[in-house]
A and B are shown apart, each in its own frame.
Chain A
Amino acid sequence: MKRWLLRRLAQAGITLAIAMVLLFVLMRLAPGDPLSRLGENRPLSPAETEALRVRYGLDQPLLAQFGVFLRGAARGDLGTSIEYGRPVSALVRERLPATILLGGAVLLLNFTIGIWLGVRQAVRRDSVLDRWLTTVSLAGYAMPSFWLGLVLAWLVGVKWRLLPAAGMQDPLLGPDADWGARGADVLRHLVLPALTLSIVSIAATMRYQRTAMLEALALPYVTTARAKGVRESLVRWRHAWRNALFPVLTLFGLWLPVLVTGSVFVESVFAWPGLGSLAAGAVGYRDYPLLMGTSLLISALVVAASLLTDLAYAFLDPRVRLS
């Protein structure tokens, strides 16, 4: 097992490197000069342009630039953002808590509600509940998340004024407020964006869990367990569900990057200060250092998630041969 783990870690490193190279190449192929934005209000003289080029290392050959990035990343220095003029690592650090909070809330809702409802649907297949939940989940999944967000923000935030329309904190809550009040404030702001993202992702989780659970429930050894008189809830969760977990696990491994980039729209509608909008802006403005920095973080998260998923596979089903 340990040897397998070490090998997987090495492979994870290679994966990350491939991802970074791919992104770097694509980034440079795309037309558009990042420095053009700096001259938007007043045209830059050739001397100024050259100075900026040197400052951001853009005058070096591509391979050297990539090397600089890698060496810096190993040190924790992700370069300086062209758009903001500040270190990328500082920008990322500022935005990371908001992203983790939102992503964490959505994952938590998925894990609990999504799994539970999916299992319930499978257990009561073709019942009224099953059909109704199917339609509801499919409708929820079919709605554009940004549209849902807009409607929720307007309805709940503006028209009914039940929750804040946007933002992460109330600025009027002074810096000396206690943790309880601060926490409640952030929680209030978290509800709508998390709900918007969750409605869509829970629907997908439910679908996958239902499918997998249906297949697991039909397995012969489940029937055997029932025949032996094992309690139904035990049959359901201990026997069937362990088999049904696989696609859902994979799903979680895949949801992570989607949550970060998919949340781009939700972050902008709710003015949630996360990484998604930062990264999307970096693409739009060809802010190479910021783009590489945020992508490195996201890619690292994805690679870690896939590693954990494989680990979970192996842990849950010893029959799966780890090649």
Chain B
Amino acid sequence: MTRSRPRTFLGTALTALVLVCPLGAQARDPNTIVIVTGQQATVPVPTLMEGADNNLANLEVADQLFLRLAGFGPSLTTVGERDFVPRLARSWSRQDSLTLVFDLDPRARWHDGVPVTGADVVFTFERARNPAIAPRLADLLRHISSVTAEGERRVVVRFSQPYAEQFYDVVYHVAPLPSHLLMGLTQDELKRSEFVRNPVGNGPYRWVRSVPGQFIELAANKRFFLGRPAVARVFVRIAADPDARINFLLSGEADALENIVPPIANLARIEAARNLRLVPVPSPTVGYLLFNQRAPGDPERPHPILADRSVRRAITLSLDRQALVQSVFGTYAQVPFGPAAPILWIRHNAPAPLGPDPAAAGRLLSAAGWVDRDGDGVLDRDGRPLLLRLNFPNTSAVRGQMALQVQEQLRRVGIAIELQRLEVPVWLERRSGGHFDIDFSSASQDPSPSGLTQSWSCSGGDNVAHYCNARVDTLMERAIRGTGNPADSWHEVLRQIEDDAPATFLYAPSYVHAIDRRFGHVTIRPESSWLELRQWTVERARERPRSGY
């Protein structure tokens, strides 16, 4: 290499860099929206979203492609059939306590032009109710005994027993699939078919393309019968890392991001970016410290410490839950009463949760025999220290931060907490196997409170802590059946659970979304953020947004 060669090399490199920088900075078409998510939607097709595919990413994209029979009203009530709004079904009526009749909107069409008929609904429910094909759905739809079509546009649904949420079960869990494209395919064939790579739906947006690991593109369905969407194109970009997502948003490369809090530091950054606005939405999440009432690994014996209700109540009273919530979520979360996430309609008019009362906690503990006899700062009884292990997954920043605070707060009252930060498969294994003292759980609840039976009924599939109160079971049954006032029954359930203290319920957050201000008529649905995207409008493009904070 002669002397001048390195210099020309540098010169070329610099020139290339300079050329590359301004080039390709696309002028943004204001009628497009770029949404950033953390996970890729790999199979946004109804009846295929089972197991690990039953995730938010798939659900949100599927909601744009496939329309449900009816949608939630503003109150998110899941009982009765009055508080729902028409979608694919234009109207409905109740024939008797076991039968519902739906009339489909004659204007509804699949993206390839074929009209939506009752046959599509029948076809879809046939698959959805088949446990070999869709076990999760089949379980949710187990009270449906038959789905038949009467003529082109009428569907009759019969149930095996009367209960309050019949309508909800029909309309919410699964959206109809096009039978004219999929009839005759087995489920495995369907999974490998072209349909999964290019789904054909009937919703406000149609599928354009997917670049794996990067983004999905959807285009407005110009002939959508409920009104053509104003936002012409939708891009869903994937970034697994939360920093990358925030950066996309603040650099102007994305217009919408779900769930920016925590960390609450993001609030200040978004507020400083004048082109973005915050939209809080009730979340389906509730976080709680679950107490194992049986000995870890030995379900025959009671837990040496946590089987005692006063100890559990004492832990709840020792924690300043409001401070915990505020330090992690700011004003965007509340302390729940019982296991009720913000999305559950039963939260309305529920009692207020107990505040911290360390004195009462101390009394409960000493009455139960827990006293610091050896002066080491930790309470003990019969030579055994009040030491509990707290398990939490290493992927949850919220729980990691809260666990540290919980440890510190409980240390002050003499309860020793040992933190166990575990990888997700190990954490799940320990959890389902009952190998834990305290499990820091986070439940994602369905809009229907009947989901509470999973964790809080004696035989619930997710009741890993062996909590059992027959009275709670009876109350829940009564509420689900709809006898009496369901709201009252559910509130009584919550009260009983709070009283029994099988867990300390820590946080019920709101999701805070950040949306570019150029979009108007923005409604974010709690059960599926972008469901109302088709109603959004695009105002005049404003001046170039300021550089990110």
Contacts and interface: CB of A to CB of B under 8 A. Distances in A.
Interface of A: 31-34, 36-43, 45, 48, 52, 82-86, 94-95, 98, 112, 116, 150, 153-154, 157-173, 175, 181, 184-185, 187-188, 191, 233, 237, 268-271, 273, 277, 281, 284-286
B253 A37 contact: no
B243 A269 contact: yes
B528 interface: no
B244 A269 contact: yes
B235 A171 contact: yes
Contact of A233 (B2, B24, B212): B2
B21 interface: yes
B405 interface: no
Interface residues of B, number: 60
Given A85-B51, A270-B244, 16 more contacts: A34-B425, A36-B425, A37-B424, A112-B9, A160-B547, A161-B252, A164-B251, A166-B239, A166-B253, A167-B239, A170-B24, A171-B217, A173-B24, A184-B23, A188-B20, A269-B243
A173 B79 CA distance: 46
B351 interface: no
B214 A268 contact: no
Given A37-B424, A170-B24, A181-B24, A153 B212 contact: no
B241 interface: yes
A153 B244 contact: yes
B483 interface: no
B372 interface: no
A153 B244 CA distance: 8
12 contacts: A31-B426, A36-B429, A36-B432, A39-B428, A158-B247, A161-B547, A166-B247, A167-B237, A171-B235, A271-B241, A271-B248, A281-B240
Given A48-B135, A150-B243, A159-B547, A273 B214 contact: yes
Contacts of A170: 24, 26, 253
B518 to A, nearest CB: 15
Contact of A184 (B24, B29, B214): B24
Nearest to B430: A31
Contact of B248 (A83, A167, A172): A167
Contacts of B253: 164-167, 170
A233 B3 CA distance: 8
A270 B214 CA distance: 11
A173 B24 CA distance: 9
Nearest to A116: B6
B34 interface: yes
B20 A191 contact: yes
Contacts of B241: 268-269, 271
B1 interface: yes
B247 A154 contact: yes
Contact of B244 (A31, A33, A268): A268
A171 to B, nearest CB: 4
Contact of A36 (B24, B53, B235, B428): B428
Interface string B10-31: 0000000100110110101100
Nearest to A186: B24
B244 A172 contact: no
B328 interface: no
Contacts of B424: 32, 37, 284-285
Given A165-B244, A170-B24, A170-B26, A38 B209 contact: no
A188 B19 CA distance: 10
B225 interface: no
Contacts of A187: 20
Contact of B21 (A52, A162, A169, A171): A162
B396 interface: no
Nearest to A237: B1
B259 interface: no
B52 A37 contact: yes
A166 B254 CA distance: 11
Given A43-B432, A85-B52, A285-B425, A171 B251 contact: no
Given A153-B247, A165-B251, A169-B214, A175 B42 contact: no
B429 A271 contact: no
B240 A271 contact: yes
Contacts of A34: 425
B423 interface: yes
B432 A167 contact: no
B121 interface: no
A168 B17 CA distance: 17
A32 B426 contact: yes
Tell which of A41, A162, A165, A286 has the most Cβ of chain B within 10 Å.
Answer: A165
B358 to A, nearest CB: 35
B52 A188 contact: no
B416 to A, nearest CB: 25
Nearest to B136: A42
Nearest to A187: B20
B319 to A, nearest CB: 26
A65 B119 CA distance: 44
Nearest to A163: B21
A271 B239 contact: yes
B75 interface: no
B398 to A, nearest CB: 17
B215 interface: yes
A188 B26 contact: no
Tell which of A31, A41, A48, A284 has the most Cβ of chain B within 10 Å.
Answer: A41
B42 A165 contact: no
B42 A172 contact: no
Interface in B263-312: none
B281 to A, nearest CB: 20
B462 interface: yes
Contacts of B352: none
B461 interface: yes
A194 B360 CA distance: 59
B106 interface: no
A166 B547 contact: no
A185 B23 CA distance: 8
Which A-B residue pairs are the 9 nearest by beta carbons?
Answer: A32-B425, A273-B213, A271-B239, A158-B548, A36-B428, A165-B247, A43-B461, A268-B241, A165-B251
Nearest to B211: A169
Contacts of B209: 175
A281 B23 CA distance: 34
A209 B424 CA distance: 43
Contact of A33 (B139, B239, B425, B454): B425
Contacts of A171: 34, 211, 214-215, 217, 235, 237
Nearest to A170: B26
B62 interface: no
Nearest to B34: A171
A213 to B, nearest CB: 14
B250 interface: yes
A323 B444 CA distance: 62
Contacts of B444: 41
A37 B51 CA distance: 8
Nearest to B544: A161
A157 B244 CA distance: 10
